[in-house]
Each structure stands twice: as structure tokens, then as C-alpha cells.
């Protein structure tokens, strides 16, 4: 039987931070080849799946090794994973949650690649490679939004295609707009023959303790939604939630918000999500990762709407 578990109090597992701590003493005594071996022991299936060659991987690992050396030299305390290599190091030391998270990423990419038209495979694999390679050379920069943004594109696209298998057909990736910008994805909605452009917006670092009430939280989310819509459709002719393309067509322009946050802390703001789910024609319901603890102590991740996650969370309280 699966049960929703407490991300912080019980298992200290977070999407953006875990109990991961770099063992600086061990790392300082390790060679590049030893670190590479540990990382590849966890990521080899993923790198093979998306076609990362040895030379390409070595180049990234050399950068990572330099980052670690800087951390050790500056005696920095790093207590959260910054990138996929950190997750892999944690997994190589036996952390089951890190292993589960890497497996989730592999399975999402594998499922997505298997469901796509071959013409999209190269583009999606390139995005998947950025999940592996995204990290800052400067170790003082702890947050890594690029990593989560690229992951969001993969899991968000897979979420749409798997949830609505018969409704949506993917038409293009990075669809060019009349203002020279692009939308993440273009779909055909088979239910009505309409064309829909969907832009993903990843929301990071939400601190509910600094939000006074439901209305303020809703205003915060709405401002982020509007920022994304306005930035993408600037200088374009808008027809409510449709935008005019160069060929005169008027597809729907919609955003999918992805929250990288401790969702259980959002329970006091549940009404904000319920209101937003039906308020806008051009904003899909917010989604986030749902982790579930299995009987064998592994963790199963899936993408779900925040409202559904909060429903399940309340049932388990």
C-alpha cells in the first residue's frame, strides 16, 4: 500500500533540497576517476538513453570536479543537491531517496521518448541533456533554477501527453511567434480541432511563511502568470486568450505552472488553487511533484495537480 509521506518532518526529502551533505574529507582524498566512477554508476542508464558520449560527459565531470575542489578549498558547507551529479553522489552512498529521484527522471524521459514522433526525439534529448549538465561553476550559487526548468519541460510535456493521450497531438516544439519569440509547445486539441500553444512556467522558492493570506498568495501567483504571458506575447495582437500568428491563425496561448515547492506547506492556501483552476481560460491548473513512499522504502514520484496533491495530503493527516 502506498502512502503519502511527510517530506520534511519524517523523511527530510525535498525536491530542491535533501539531507545531502558533501563529505568534504572523503572528496578531498578522491581522484577524478573515483568521483566519475561513482557518478556513472548511477547515471549510466540515463546517459545511454539520451545519447551522451564519453567526451561530452567527461567535459561536464571535469567542471563538476573543479566545483567540488572550490567547495573544499573555501571550506563551504553544502547541505542540498545543486545538480544531478550531486544527486548521483548521494545515491552512490546508498541514499534511497536520491536513487528514486534519479530513477524518476530516467523513467519520465524514457516514457516520453517512446511516445513521441521520431522527428521530436533529437529536441527532447537535447533538453534531457541539459538536466544532466546544468550546474553553476561558482559554488557560492546554491540555487539551480535551470536544472528544475529543464526537468519541468520533460515532466510537464510527459504529463500532458500521458494524461490526455487521445486529446492532444504534439505539433511542434519551440513554436515561433509573430514577435520572434517562441512558445514551448504547440498541440492539436482533437476534441475541437483547435491549436493550443502551451508555455511552461516553473515557480521556485515560494516561502509560504512570508505570505499573509489566501488573497495575497493568489495575487502573487497571478502576477507570475501575467509576467510570463506578457513577456511571451509582447507586441502581438491578442484576442482574449488567443494570439494572432503571422499566417493570420489565432491559436490559444496557455501556460502550465509547475511549482517546485514543499506542497504540504501550501495547505493554508488551498482555496487559491481551487479559484485559479477555473478562473482563467489560458492558465492550466498548477502542478507539482507528488512523492509516495512504498513498502520497500523506495519513493515513487509523479506529477499531479497541486489541488489533487493537497486532497491526498489532507486524507493522510
Domain enclosing residue 126, as ranges: 17-142
Which of 142, 174, 202 is the last residue before a domain boundary?
142
Q: How far apart are CA 239 and CA 245, in angstroms?
A: 11
Q: Which helix (H) or strand (E) holds 1?
A: none
Same domain, 176 and 310: yes
Give how far Cα 291 sits from Cα of 8, 58, 160, Å: 12, 32, 19
Answer whether residue 117 is part of any domain.
Answer: yes
Answer whether residue 5 is part of any domain.
Answer: no
pLDDT confidence of residue 102: 96
Mind listing the pLDDT tens digit for each residue in 193-251?
999 999 999 998 788 788 889 999 999 999 999 999 999 999 888 777 889 998 999 99
Same domain, 317 and 172: yes
Same domain, 183 and 116: no
Same domain, 131 and 178: no
Mind listing the pLDDT tens digit for each residue in 85-124?
999 998 998 888 889 999 999 999 999 999 999 999 999 9
Q: Which helix (H) or strand (E) holds 176?
A: strand 168-176
pLDDT score of 306 more than 80: yes
Let me know: does 262 contact 14? Beta carbons within 8 Å.
yes
Q: Model pTM?
A: 0.88
pLDDT score of 19 more than 70: no
Same domain, 196 and 299: yes
Q: What is the number of domains present in the chain?
A: 2
Q: How many residues does the chain have?
A: 317
Angle of helix 54-73 relative to helix 121-133, nearest 10 degrees?
20
Same domain, 180 and 310: yes
pLDDT confidence of residue 204: 85
pLDDT confidence of residue 246: 87
Same domain, 74 and 170: no
The residue with greater pLDDT, 270 or 241, is 270
Answer whether residue 237 is part of any domain.
Answer: yes
Answer whether residue 11 is part of any domain.
Answer: no
Same domain, 199 and 289: yes
Which of 142, 177, 194 is the last residue before a domain boundary?
142
Answer whether residue 153 is part of any domain.
Answer: no
For range 44-49, the mean pLDDT? 98
Which of 110, 142, 174 is the last residue before a domain boundary?
142
Same domain, 109 and 241: no
Same domain, 307 and 169: yes
Q: What is the mean pLDDT of the chain?
A: 86
Q: How far apart are CA 248 and CA 243, in angstroms?
A: 9
Answer whether residue 157 is part of any domain.
Answer: no
Let me know: does 39 contact 85? Beta carbons within 8 Å.
yes
* Listed residue (276, 271, 267, 278) closest to 309, CA to CA: 267
Answer whether residue 274 is part of any domain.
Answer: yes
Answer whether residue 311 is part of any domain.
Answer: yes
Same domain, 79 and 196: no
Q: Tell me what percent of the chain is helix, strand and coil, each rounded to the nearest 5.
A: 50, 20, 30
Same domain, 310 and 187: yes
Amino acid at each position: 500500500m502506498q502512502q503519502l509521506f511527510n517530506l520534511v518532518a519524517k523523511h527530510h526529502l525535498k525536491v530542491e533540497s535533501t539531507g545531502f551533505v558533501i563529505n568534504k574529507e572523503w572528496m578531498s582524498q578522491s581522484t577524478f576517476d573515483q568521483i566519475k566512477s561513482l557518478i556513472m554508476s548511477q547515471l549510466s542508464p540515463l546517459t545511454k538513453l539520451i545519447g551522451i558520449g564519453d567526451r561530452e560527459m567527461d567535459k561536464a565531470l571535469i567542471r563538476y570536479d573543479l566545483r567540488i575542489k572550490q567547495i573544499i578549498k573555501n571550506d563551504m558547507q553544502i547541505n542540498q543537491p545543486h545538480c544531478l551529479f550531486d544527486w548521483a553522489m548521494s545515491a552512490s552512498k546508498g541514499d534511497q531517496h536520491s536513487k528514486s529521484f534519479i530513477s524518476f527522471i530516467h523513467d519520465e524521459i524514457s516514457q516520453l521518448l517512446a511516445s513521441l514522433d521520431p522527428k521530436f526525439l533529437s529536441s527532447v534529448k537535447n533538453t534531457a541533456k541539459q538536466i544532466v549538465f546544468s550546474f553553476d561553476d561558482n559554488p557560492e550559487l546554491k540555487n539551480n533554477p535551470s536544472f528544475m526548468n529543464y526537468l519541468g519541460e520533460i515532466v510537464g510535456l510527459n504529463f500532458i501527453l500521458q494524461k490526455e493521450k487521445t486529446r492532444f497531438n504534439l505539433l511542434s516544439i519551440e513554436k515561433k511567434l509573430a514577435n520572434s519569440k517562441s512558445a514551448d509547445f504547440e498541440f492539436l486539441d482533437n476534441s475541437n480541432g483547435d491549436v493550443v500553444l502551451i508555455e511552461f512556467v516553473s515557480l521556485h522558492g515560494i516561502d509560504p511563511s512570508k505570505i499573509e493570506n489566501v488573497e495575497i498568495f493568489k495575487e502573487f501567483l497571478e502576477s507570475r502568470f501575467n509576467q510570463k504571458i506578457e513577456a511571451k506575447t509582447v507586441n502581438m495582437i491578442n484576442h482574449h486568450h488567443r494570439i494572432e500568428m503571422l499566417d493570420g491563425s489565432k491559436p490559444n496561448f496557455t501556460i502550465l505552472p509547475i511549482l517546485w515547492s514543499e506542497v504540504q506547506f501550501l495547505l493554508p492556501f488551498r482555496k487559491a488553487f481551487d479559484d485559479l483552476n477555473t478562473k482563467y481560460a489560458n492558465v492550466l491548473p498548477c502542478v507539482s511533484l507528488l512523492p509516495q513512499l512504498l513498502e520497500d522504502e523506495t519513493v515513487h514520484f509523479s506529477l499531479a495537480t497541486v489541488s489533487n496533491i493537497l486532497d491526498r495530503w489532507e486524507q493522510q493527516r
